[in-house]
Amino acid sequence: MENIRGVARGAAEVPLSVLELATVGEGGSPGEALRGATELAKRAEQWGYHRIWVAEHHGMPGVASSSPAVLIAHLAASTSTIRLGSGGVMLPNHAPLVIAEQFGTLHALHPGRIDLGLGRAPGTDMVTAQALRRSANVDPDEFPQEVAALTAFLDGANPRVQAIPRGDDRPPIWLLGSSGFSARLAGLLGLPFAYAHHFSAAGTEPALELYRTSFRPSEVLAEPYAMIGVSALAAESEQEALRQAMAGALAFLRMRLGRPGRFPTPEEAAAYPYSAAETEFVYGRLADVVYGDPDQVRTGLEELRKRTAADELMITTTVHGTDTRIRSYELIAQAYEMTP
């Protein structure tokens, strides 16, 4: 079994990684977003980030990462050392055999570089979820059985059906979540766990505590390994970082209102006529984003790491424009004096 634990670079106390959504900005196109994701993967590898994951979302005009396995294959072919994975595949949307075949293929093409992160949410609205699923009666509470079936396919332990291709080992399985359900399951199975702090910050510490107290050693891990997704944005100044972060807060507001669209520009966010309730929501969202100049971002990330005792930080930067996003990751790498 591969070593799941990452390597910290430079002055970082834990590995730093990247969560990429292939954001489609207002005035841009999905092709531009996917090319931007490819460029980010190349740069992240050069700067010493440990892994880059892509998230499965559907029905969102501002997100082009609806097919993680396809995008991972392209990113892996465009890089040579950085780990690639799903953050995550929404397992209730797929037959476990299909995912086993997809990630078995990726693992065969890029041995030692592929992670399989699994989530139990649909990653979309329920109408789109029903269009994706093979049955109208998929129950997310059957997630443990789905994980077990997928693991059996990857291990060649299903006596009737074989997932081909399959290597001598399998890519590491991670469980992802924004609640205690997957935290507890990951602990009981002895698997690494990734918590969506960037999406549900209030539950981070309770979920990590549940994961650690539930943990049972396995052939995969002798001790818990917890990663958290963190929304972070570094710019040349705190004022510019806030200007860019406001666009991300507006995009999140629109998603919560059921009006997802392409990622707004900072100018659009500045001109938006926020109601009192929307203003409260936006600034509440910004409270969970680590933003500022590079030193401020490093300080904020370190405070979060210490508070949560996370073993790895996975940074997601949601801004308008590929160049701005790439520059943020570069500034963070420089702040930590990271090297490949």
Which amino acid belongs to residue 136?
A
CA atoms within 13 A on the CB side of 115: 28
CA distance 321 to 248: 11
In 10 A of CB 258, how many CB atoms?
A: 7
Digit-coded pLDDT (tens) for 72-124 = 999 999 999 999 999 989 998 899 999 999 999 999 999 999 999 999 976 66
Share of the chain above pLDDT 70, in %: 96
pLDDT score, position 199: 87
pLDDT score, position 134: 55
pLDDT score, position 340: 79
Domain boundaries, the chain: 16-336
pLDDT score, position 332: 98
Check if the beta carbon of residue 220 is closer than 8 Å to that of residue 4. Answer: yes
CA distance 179 to 48: 30
Indicate the class that CATH gives domain 16-336. alpha beta
Digit-coded pLDDT (tens) for 136-169 = 566 767 899 999 999 999 999 998 999 999 877 8
Kindly report the average pLDDT of the chain as a whole number.
93
CA distance 73 to 70: 5
pLDDT score, position 331: 98
pLDDT score, position 123: 63
Q: Which portions of the chain are predicted below pLDDT 70?
A: 1-2, 122-125, 133-138, 140
Contact residues for 162 (Cβ-Cβ < 8 A; gap 6+): 153, 156
